[in-house]
């Protein structure tokens, strides 16, 4: 487990810069708007995975033993793309201008392994099954790679996920780690009002997964949860988060699932993020 203060500070600084990048990218979308709420809720998750956990080579993106990341909650580009930029897959100074632009490389749901994008996303409830296929192949070919999948809690309303949870346990895919962004909000409202998920930890244990829970905005806690891997079962981390985290007027607001950012809102959001430096 990574526990050095220097590394934790580095990841926390990465997360702050990613929030600033996300706000910049959202402004560039103009009237099209952007998925800010669900991206800001998983910033620390991306920072920990790409800044401290996953094994990859920016200079050799097709390396056969690389760890693979799947954004199952695929409306999280404002967190995903800044993470890729931070580690060197994308140029930071071009990121905002490339986002959702004609002929840009960062349109809605891109797939481009050369810049670290393994899976295009889009339809919810499918990515876990893709990850299971990758995990099975990895085991059969005796590769060292692990599969990391980020899922939204609202996405758990898709029944196909539960069949996939059963399959991963049946095949003892200990090389899969699912992180669930448990922010309790989906596009239609509170997850427990739409279709109650209730005690998610007990549900996952009953599906024979190794379960860890954590504060999804606390870097040391995320690192601790990701270190609690089972060698016998697939692993799931339930990360308790806040939709819109880091910008007070967005936090726990359903309308910021997808919305347009005005110039004044942009300036206020950036000031707030900078004022919270070291305490995100």
Please give the helix or strand (H or E) that residue 24 lies within, else none: helix 5-28
Q: Are the beta carbons of 269 and 23 closer than 8 angstroms?
A: yes
DSSP states of 171-207: TT-TTEEEEEEE-SEETTEEHHHHH----HHHHHHHT
Please check whether residue 280 lies inside any domain of the structure.
no
Please check whether residue 41 lies inside any domain of the structure.
yes
Segments forming the whole domain that contains residue 187: 5-275
Question: How many domains are contained in the chain?
Answer: 1
Please give the helix or strand (H or E) that residue 126 lies within, else none: none
Please check whether residue 162 lies inside any domain of the structure.
yes
Please give the helix or strand (H or E) that residue 236 lies within, else none: strand 235-240
Please check whether residue 58 lies inside any domain of the structure.
yes
pLDDT tens digits, 45-65: 999 999 999 999 999 999 999
Please check whether residue 233 lies inside any domain of the structure.
yes
pLDDT tens digits, 71-116: 999 888 899 999 999 999 988 877 766 676 666 656 666 778 888 8
* pTM of the entire predicted model: 0.93
pLDDT at 177: 98
pLDDT at 94: 73
pLDDT at 279: 43
Please check whether residue 260 lies inside any domain of the structure.
yes
Q: What share of the chain is helix, strand, coil (3-state, %, to 5)?
A: 45, 15, 40
- Between helix 5-28 and helix 263-275 the angle, nearest 10°, is 170
pLDDT at 277: 61
Q: Say which CATH number the domain at 88 has.
A: 3.40.50.970
pLDDT at 96: 67
Q: Are the beta carbons of 132 and 168 closer than 8 angstroms?
A: yes
pLDDT at 112: 81
In which residue ranges of the chain is pLDDT below 50? Answer: 278-280
Which residues in 230-268 are b (16+ Cβ under 10 Å) and which e?
A: eeebbbbbbbbbbbbbbbeebbbbeebbebebeeebeee
């Amino acid at each position: 487990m990574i526990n050095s203060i220097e590394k934790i500070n580095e990841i926390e600084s990465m997360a702050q810069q990613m929030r600033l990048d996300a706000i910049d990218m959202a402004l560039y979308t103009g009237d099209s708007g952007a998925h800010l709420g669900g991206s800001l809720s998983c910033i620390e998750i991306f920072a920990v995975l790409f800044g401290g956990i996953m094994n990859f080579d920016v200079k050799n993106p097709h390396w056969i033993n690389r760890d693979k990341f799947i954004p199952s909650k695929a409306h999280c580009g404002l967190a995903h793309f800044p993470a890729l930029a931070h580690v060197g897959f994308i140029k930071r100074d071009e990121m905002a201008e490339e986002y959702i632009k004609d002929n840009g490389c960062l349109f809605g749901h891109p797939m481009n392994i050369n810049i670290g994008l393994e899976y295009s996303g889009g339809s919810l409830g499918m990515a876990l099954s893709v990850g299971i296929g990758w995990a099975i192949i990895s085991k059969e070919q005796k590769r060292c790679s692990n599969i990391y999948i980020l899922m939204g809690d609202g996405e758990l309303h898709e029944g196909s996920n539960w069949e996939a949870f059963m399959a991963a346990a049946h095949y003892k895919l200990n090389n899969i780690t699912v992180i669930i962004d448990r922010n309790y909000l989906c596009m239609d409202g509170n997850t427990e009002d739409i279709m109650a998920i209730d005690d998610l930890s007990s549900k996952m244990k009953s599906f024979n997964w190794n379960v860890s829970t954590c504060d999804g905005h606390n870097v040391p806690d995320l690192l601790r949860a990701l270190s609690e891997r089972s060698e016998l079962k697939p692993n799931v981390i339930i990360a308790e988060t806040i939709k819109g985290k880091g910008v007070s007027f967005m936090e726990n607001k359903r309308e910021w699932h997808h919305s347009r950012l005005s110039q004044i809102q942009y300036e206020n959001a950036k000031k707030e993020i900078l004022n919270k430096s070291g305490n995100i």
